[in-house]
């Protein structure tokens, strides 16, 4: 018995693809395409600064829209954040990103419209163009330039040795980071319950520290659909790739409600790991997003 466990452990430690072994064993019959990432490169297509700025811009636009340009309610923001909130709101107004008028004056936009006006495109889930693939993610409107953050991979973040065994059974949504951190992007069953309880645990007064709406059909952050991006093939080449991003401590507290990730155990102090999907080339309206599940990460 112990020998079998040791052998399984050795095989797990030697495993080097982006998704956990369940997927490799179950998709083995499909033709694979490989993408090789040496560890030293850390798989960065764009800088952390660019990822940070994109998330800041999108989340601010969503918040301005949600609060109708008013400072977020609940508790008063600290002076520094209040000033940055007003500056960012004013900047968005100047860009015209969030001006929509109905018959009775300004109206709130849908989250998809906010992203479209802020980034120039919006994505949505729909039936995949690959017959056997189920749900996929498409560029519904607009145009995605190369090097743009186009999506986020939501879910509970597990550090090495944290208990994920029962959540992993039959679960094809567990993403593996270069350093062994795992992100469970399953929106059903035990995975869903774990995420919701961790999110409630982390609430800070009136401020939500993470987004739970990605578990529904209508996410308040429309980028949080990256778990439904399908694997590429020889016929459908990858047009996006995964990139790891640690959310810095100074990320504004009022914008954390749009982050679709939460740590399993909050006793250990560390930055929140997020995964973004970045465009490898220009992507046009109507195109489906394809990533590479078989990226070798060491």
Mean pLDDT of all residues belonging to the chain: 81
Which whole-number Å values give the CA distances from 52 to 62, 86, 98, 148, 253, in the listed order?
Answer: 15, 19, 21, 12, 14
Query: Mean per-residue pLDDT for 34-49?
Result: 67
In contact, 131 and 112? CB cutoff 8 Å: no
In contact, 173 and 237? CB cutoff 8 Å: no
Residues 6+ apart with CB under 8 A from 62: 111, 114, 115, 220, 221, 258
Whole-number Å distance between alpha carbons of 148 and 192: 29
Query: Mean per-residue pLDDT for 72-85?
Result: 59
| Local structure of residue 226 (DSSP, 8 states) | G
Does pLDDT of 108 surpass 70?
yes
pLDDT classification of 30: cutoffs 50, 70, 90: very low
Query: Mean per-residue pLDDT for 78-105?
Result: 57
**The pLDDT of residue 130:** 85
**The pLDDT of residue 36:** 54
Query: Mean per-residue pLDDT for 121-149?
Result: 93
Query: Mean per-residue pLDDT for 182-186?
Result: 92
Which stretch of 72-81, 160-169, 229-238 has the lowest confidence by average pLDDT?
Answer: 72-81
131 φ/ψ sector (left φ>0, alpha ψ -120 to 50, else beta)? alpha
In contact, 20 and 168? CB cutoff 8 Å: yes
Partners of residue 257 on adjacent β-strands: none
Any alpha helices (H) in the chain, and if so which ranges?
A: 2-14, 21-26, 48-66, 79-95, 111-119, 165-168, 189-201
In contact, 74 and 207? CB cutoff 8 Å: yes
Domain parsing of the chain, residue ranges: 32-47+110-297
Does pLDDT of 245 surpass 90?
yes
**The pLDDT of residue 73:** 57
Does pLDDT of 286 surpass 50?
yes
Say which CATH architecture domain 32-47+110-297 belongs to. Beta Complex (2.170)
Give me the percent of the chain exceeding a pLDDT of 90.
49
Which stretch of 97-101, 134-138, 154-158, 219-223 has the lowest confidence by average pLDDT?
Answer: 97-101
Which stretch of 5-9, 32-36, 180-184, 251-255 has the lowest confidence by average pLDDT?
Answer: 32-36
Q: What is the value of pTM for the model shown? A: 0.81
Q: Which of 58, 64, 54, 186 is nearest to 112 (CA)?
A: 58
11 φ/ψ sector (left φ>0, alpha ψ -120 to 50, else beta)? alpha
Query: Mean per-residue pLDDT for 189-201?
Result: 94
pLDDT tens by residue, 247-259: 998 999 999 999 9
Does pLDDT of 183 surpass 50?
yes
pLDDT tens by residue, 214-237: 999 999 999 999 999 988 888 888
């Amino acid at each position: 018995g112990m020998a079998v466990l040791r052998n399984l452990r050795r095989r797990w430690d030697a495993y080097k693809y982006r998704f956990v072994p369940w997927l490799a064993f179950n998709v083995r019959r499909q033709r694979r395409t490989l993408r090789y990432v040496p560890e030293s490169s850390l798989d960065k297509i764009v800088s952390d600064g660019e990822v940070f700025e994109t998330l800041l811009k999108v989340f601010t636009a969503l918040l301005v829209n949600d609060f109708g340009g008013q400072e977020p309610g609940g508790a008063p923001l600290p002076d520094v954040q209040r000033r940055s909130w007003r500056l960012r709101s004013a900047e968005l107004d100047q860009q015209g990103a969030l001006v929509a008028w109905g018959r009775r004056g300004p109206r709130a936009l849908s989250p998809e419209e906010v992203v479209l006006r802020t980034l120039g495109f919006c994505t949505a889930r729909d039936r995949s163009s690959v017959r056997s693939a189920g749900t996929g993610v498409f560029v519904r409107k607009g145009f995605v330039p190369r090097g743009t953050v186009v999506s986020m991979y939501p879910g509970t973040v597990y550090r090495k040795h944290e208990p994920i065994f029962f959540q992993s059974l039959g679960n094809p949504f567990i993403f593996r980071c270069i350093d062994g951190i795992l992100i469970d992007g399953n929106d059903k069953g035990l995975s869903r319950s774990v995420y919701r309880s961790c999110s409630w645990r982390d609430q800070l007064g009136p401020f939500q520290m993470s987004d739970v709406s990605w578990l529904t059909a209508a996410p308040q952050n429309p980028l949080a659909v990256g778990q439904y991006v399908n694997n590429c093939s020889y016929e459908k080449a990858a047009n996006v790739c995964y990139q790891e991003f640690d959310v810095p401590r100074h990320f504004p507290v009022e914008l954390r409600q749009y982050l679709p990730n939460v740590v399993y155990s909050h006793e250990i102090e560390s930055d929140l790991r997020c995964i973004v999907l970045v465009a490898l080339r220009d992507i046009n309206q109507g195109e489906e997003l394809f990533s590479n599940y078989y990226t070798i990460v060491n």
